[in-house]
Amino acid sequence: MKNHELQERKGRVFARGMGNMFPIYAARAVNAEIWDEEGKRYIDFAAGIAVVNTGHSHPEIVAAVKQQLDAFSHTCVMVTPYANVVELAEKITAIAPIEDARAIFLSTGAEAVENAIKIARVATGRPGVIAFSGGFHGRTNLCMGLTGKVVPYKKGFGPFTPEIYHVPFPAEYLGISAELSLAALDQLFKSDIQPDRVAAIIIEPVQGEGGFYPVPEGFLSKLRELCDKHGIILILDEIQTGYARTGRMFAVEHSGVEPDIMTLAKGIAGGFPISAVVGKAAIMNAPEPGGLGGTYAASPLGCAAGLAVLDIIEKESLCERATETGNRLVAGLRRLQAKHPELIGDVRGLGAMVAMELISSGDAGQANPALAKALTAKAAELGLILLSCGVRSNVIRILVPLTIEFKHLEEGLNILEEAFEACI
Ligand SMILES: Cc1ncc(COP(=O)(O)O)c(C=O)c1O
């Protein structure tokens, strides 16, 4: 079946709100390579948006899920649970940088965020939640409210839940310093909500959809101090940054800060829909039995995959590999930047979460979303799946599987360069 025929069929039966970036229909994928319905091969620099950190179709994940499938696929964790959910909770609470941690498992990232907020509100008895502009936390109603990017995530979808406040994210490239962001928080406490009415502050350690901006050094410690002072729960949304992506198991570990709660999804089960909330026992145990859950929560297939993922990350040293991969990517992008400094304003990365910021005339204030759009389309034509992001839609982000063979990494970088030259 041809890609364009499938795209036409999809257009006739699918609501347009759930679009696709490329009219490319995947037929098969192995590690960092995807083949489409027409047999064309692509290097994958997206990993299903940071999901297959362990590569497509990792044999150990496939085997673990097949074995679970032969036993049973669903009983509902709230009815008759199973051994692998207990084992996964034991392992995740042991590796989380949180003392005396407890976990729950859901299905999607948005659900993990929803539950983190539910838990924080019960634990504190307070309504307020503070998030950051440019942040992305999912597409459910509460998560849309937390998200700090209007188009396409919020436009027309309101009203959102009350008691959500935003302050600027400290994106230094955009001229927003840590001091400015903290001053905005201080101002918010004076002008909008008293701190003892705030249940939680939620932040991504590196903004994902917002543009791959890492929090400046020391910022999370400052937030930690502020949260401790006012009894506010600090939630780290590690849905995109977690699971070895940034060179540590969790990105917050770069800061040495202990969060109260972390939300996890994407990379935790190699593509099987399972997510988690992990946090301090006293907070996590606040909701009463039955208050948290979901029919498909903690799918046994996801748990089987999740256990295999943890083994692979350790056996294949994926944290170290993320750092090495990121270094190679940053070096490749910096070579391109040296040739085109007027169009590539910044190259940044934390481990294998790497991005370049496209601008015009060497002016950081002039975002170049048109180039980002043209580049991702051209790259796809030349055999590379490449994503953009950013509040200004001008950032190219690279999220390769952490298991990518370096020859494929180089091949992808070469295609990116060729596509870039063809677009300018
Ligand atoms: C930081 C962050 N939080 C939450 C989400 C929402 O996850 P999901 O799409 O699985 O609901 C995402 C998805 O991109 C994300 O990157």
What residue numbers bound the domain in which 91 lies? Answer: 60-315
Look up the CATH number of the domain holding residue 22: 3.90.1150.10
The single-letter code of the amino acid at 76 is C
> Is the Cβ atom of 108 under 6 angstroms away from ligand 1?
yes
- Ligand 1: which atom is nearest the Cα of residue 110? 11
Look up the CATH number of the domain holding residue 290: 3.40.640.10
Whether 44 and 76 map to the same domain: the answer is no
> Is the Cβ atom of 110 under 6 angstroms away from ligand 1?
yes
For the stretch 338-347, contacts whose Cβ atoms lie closer than 8 Å and that sit 24 or more positions apart, written own/partner, are 340/420, 340/424, 343/368, 343/371, 343/424, 345/173, 346/173
Confidence at residue 36, expressed as pLDDT on a 0 to 100 scale:
98
Q: What is the pLDDT of residues 162-196, one digit of tens each?
A: 999 999 999 999 999 999 999 999 999 999 999 99
Distance CA 78, CA 80 (A): 6
Whether 242 and 109 map to the same domain: the answer is yes
Share of the chain above pLDDT 90, in %: 100
Q: What is the pLDDT of residues 372-422, one digit of tens each?
A: 999 999 999 999 999 999 999 999 999 999 999 999 999 999 999 999 999
Whether 125 and 94 map to the same domain: the answer is yes
Overall average pLDDT of the 11-15 stretch: 97
Residue nearest to atom 8 of ligand 1 (CA): 109
- Cα(110) to ligand 1 centroid in Å equals 6
Whether 299 and 327 map to the same domain: the answer is no
Overall average pLDDT of the 54-62 stretch: 98
Last residue of a domain, one of 283, 315, 347: 315
Residue nearest to atom 3 of ligand 1 (CA): 137
> Is the Cβ atom of 239 under 6 angstroms away from ligand 1?
yes
> Is the Cβ atom of 242 under 6 angstroms away from ligand 1?
no
Angle of helix 318-339 relative to helix 406-423, nearest 10 degrees, comes to 30
Whether 279 and 325 map to the same domain: the answer is no
The helix/strand/coil state of 87 is helix
- Cα(265) to ligand 1 centroid in Å equals 7
Residue 138 pLDDT level (bands cut at 50, 70, 90)? very high
Q: Into how many domains does the chain fold?
A: 2
**Prior bond of 159 cis (ω within 30°):** yes
Whether 338 and 381 map to the same domain: the answer is yes
> Is the Cβ atom of 113 under 6 angstroms away from ligand 1?
yes
Contact predicate 226/232, CB 8 Å: yes
Whether 76 and 181 map to the same domain: the answer is yes
Q: How far is CA 386 from CA 45, 46, 282, 399, 421, in A?
A: 5, 6, 42, 9, 15
Overall average pLDDT of the 32-53 stretch: 98
Residue nearest to atom 10 of ligand 1 (CA): 109
Distance CA 67, CA 49 (A): 27
Whether 271 and 329 map to the same domain: the answer is no
Confidence at residue 53, expressed as pLDDT on a 0 to 100 scale:
98
Confidence at residue 211, expressed as pLDDT on a 0 to 100 scale:
97
Whether 126 and 201 map to the same domain: the answer is yes
Last residue of a domain, one of 300, 315, 330: 315
Distance CA 155, CA 46 (A): 25
- Ligand 1: which atom is nearest the Cα of residue 140? 11
> Is the Cβ atom of 107 under 6 angstroms away from ligand 1?
no
Residue 149 pLDDT level (bands cut at 50, 70, 90)? very high
Whether 143 and 218 map to the same domain: the answer is yes
Is pTM beyond 0.95? Reply is yes
Residue 333 pLDDT level (bands cut at 50, 70, 90)? very high
Q: What is the pLDDT of residues 290-316, one digit of tens each?
A: 999 999 999 999 999 999 999 999 999
Overall average pLDDT of the 324-328 stretch: 98
What DSSP letter does each residue of 129-188 carry, written as one string? EEEETT----SSHHHHHH----TTTTTT--PPPSSEEEE----GGGT--HHHHHHHHHHH
- Ligand 1: which atom is nearest the Cα of residue 263? 3
Last residue of a domain, one of 289, 315, 341: 315
Confidence at residue 21, expressed as pLDDT on a 0 to 100 scale:
96
Average per-residue pLDDT for the chain: 98
Share of the chain above pLDDT 70, in %: 100
Q: What is the pLDDT of residues 82-124, one digit of tens each?
A: 999 999 999 999 999 999 999 999 999 999 999 999 999 999 9
Whether 104 and 253 map to the same domain: the answer is yes
Whether 47 and 66 map to the same domain: the answer is no
- Ligand 1: which atom is nearest the Cα of residue 135? 1
Residue 255 pLDDT level (bands cut at 50, 70, 90)? very high
Confidence at residue 397, expressed as pLDDT on a 0 to 100 scale:
98
